[in-house]
Amino acid sequence: MKLSTKHLLGIKDLTKEDIQLILSTAEQFKEVLQRPVKKVPSLRDITIVNLFYENSTRTRMSFELAERRLSADVLNFTASSSSAAKGETLLDTVNNILSMKVDMVVMRHSASGAPHFLAKHIPAAIVNAGDGINEHPTQALLDAFSMREKLGKLEGLKVAIIGDIMHSRVALSNMYLLRKMGAEILVVGPPTLIPKYISEALGVRVTYNLQEALKWCDVANVLRIQLERQNQPLFSSLREYNLAYGIKRKMLENLGKDIVIMHPGPINRGVELDSDVADGPYSIILNQVENGVAVRMAALYLLAGRES
Ligand code: CP
């Protein structure tokens, strides 16, 4: 089976079958990653550039590891130490890189739509590694993989997405994906951090009450407060945010049921999550990071035109 798309720009553009194909291919790569030799020759004829115009720890390292595990040749580009800092345009930069015979571009950019712009102007396959407040498709895929691995299904799963919904590309990609796969979604946070028409636009329920959400859900996907994307204060203080929406261990123990806690990272400890939740028995945060490599291997393998 093959993907219906040449690029991975967002979950919005994927079919349910594309998502199922990436997740099932990722299962095969997860098995590869358990072996003593965690490498396959699948992409040894492919060169990939990781083009990061915005900071990253997990996504960047995970893509690079995925590429190397697939035996691709890898180039790394960091905007701050490149000629972009001297004013070179995105298109000039990418065309120069492509003239060195690069086949695929993995890109993170602070501008929403930057990878879509590139996809219109260059022949290489583009993978969106996070664009502004728009989408972070491989994060949603690894989140879905991790939920399915932990709870056995996506269809009918009750997922609460908690926090800064307004500025979160992880939230948007998760909402698109979980809706396509038949999960139920409740978004939770202060009214100033939840877009007004989200229910109508995306078919999700909204609550401003954290306790209600925790009682209802099987999975709580907790988001980082993204102060760097907020132009003006949208809540009174981080301390008050923590009092109203921070997840504490006692809260989870008092639920009297199983619940899975997820977070895409980086965590603001003591703001959206207390440390004994992030590092405790309800959390699968490091499993998410582990699964990211297999999921990105699957996405790159399929985008290179390989069949599963
Ligand atoms: N989850 C995520 O995108 O983390 P980084 O910003 O560290 O890549």
- C-alpha count within 13 angstroms, C-beta hemisphere, residue 52: 19
User: Helix or strand or coil: residue 85?
Assistant: helix
Question: Exposed/middle/buried for 251, CB within 10 Å: 0-12, 13-18, 19+?
Answer: middle
CB 220 within 8 Å of CB 171:
no
Q: How far is the CA of 229 from the centre of ligand 1 (A)?
A: 15
Q: How far is the CA of 256 from the centre of ligand 1 (A)?
A: 32
The values of phi and psi at residue 64, to 5°, are -65, -40
What amino acid is encoded at 250 in this protein? K
**Ligand 1 proximity of 168 Cβ (cutoff 6 Å):** no
- Entry pTM: 0.96
- For the CA of 62, the closest atom of ligand 1 is 8
**Ligand 1 proximity of 58 Cβ (cutoff 6 Å):** yes
- For the CA of 108, the closest atom of ligand 1 is 8
Residue ID of nearest Cα to ligand 1 atom 6: 56
The pLDDT, as a whole number, for residue 226 is 77
Of 179, 264, 199, nearest to 225 by C-alpha is: 264
Q: How far is the CA of 133 from the centre of ligand 1 (A)?
A: 13
State the CB neighbour count (10 A cutoff) for residue 221.
27
What's the CATH number of domain 11-135+291-303, 3.40.50.150, 3.40.50.720, 3.40.50.300, 3.40.50.1370? 3.40.50.1370
CB 75 within 8 Å of CB 99:
no
In this prediction, residues 124-138 reach a mean pLDDT of 97
Residue ID of nearest Cα to ligand 1 atom 1: 264
Of 97, 80, 135, 88, nearest to 113 by C-alpha is: 135
Of 24, 6, 23, 4, nearest to 14 by C-alpha is: 4
**Ligand 1 proximity of 130 Cβ (cutoff 6 Å):** yes
Query: Which stretches of the chain are assigned E, i.e. beta strand?
Result: 47-52, 73-78, 104-109, 125-131, 158-162, 184-188, 205-207, 219-222, 260-262
In this prediction, residues 79-91 reach a mean pLDDT of 91
In this prediction, residues 284-306 reach a mean pLDDT of 98
Q: How far is the CA of 25 from the centre of ligand 1 (A)?
A: 22
pLDDT band with cut points at 50, 70 and 90 for residue 293? very high
Instruction: Check if CATH label 3.40.50.1370 holds for domain 137-288.
Output: yes
Helix (H) or strand (E) holding 19: helix 16-32
Confidence check: pLDDT of 207 > 90: yes
Q: How far is the CA of 140 from the centre of ligand 1 (A)?
A: 12
Could you state, in order of their start, the residue ranges of all structural domains in the chain? 11-135+291-303, 137-288
- For the CA of 57, the closest atom of ligand 1 is 7
Give the span between the Cα atoms of 260 and 282, in whole angstroms.
Answer: 5
The pLDDT, as a whole number, for residue 229 is 66
Give the span between the Cα atoms of 141 and 153, in whole angstroms.
Answer: 14
What amino acid is encoded at 93 in this protein? T
Confidence check: pLDDT of 191 > 80: yes
**Ligand 1 proximity of 228 Cβ (cutoff 6 Å):** no
Q: How far is the CA of 138 from the centre of ligand 1 (A)?
A: 10
User: Helix or strand or coil: residue 25?
Assistant: helix
Share of the chain above pLDDT 90, in %: 91
One fold for both 11-135+291-303 and 137-288?
Answer: yes
Q: What is the mean pLDDT of the chain?
A: 95
Torsion of CA 131, 137, 143, 148, to 10 degrees: 170
Confidence check: pLDDT of 133 > 90: yes
Tens of pLDDT, residue by residue over 226-279, are 777 666 766 778 899 999 999 999 999 999 999 999 999 999 999 999 999 999
The pLDDT, as a whole number, for residue 236 is 77
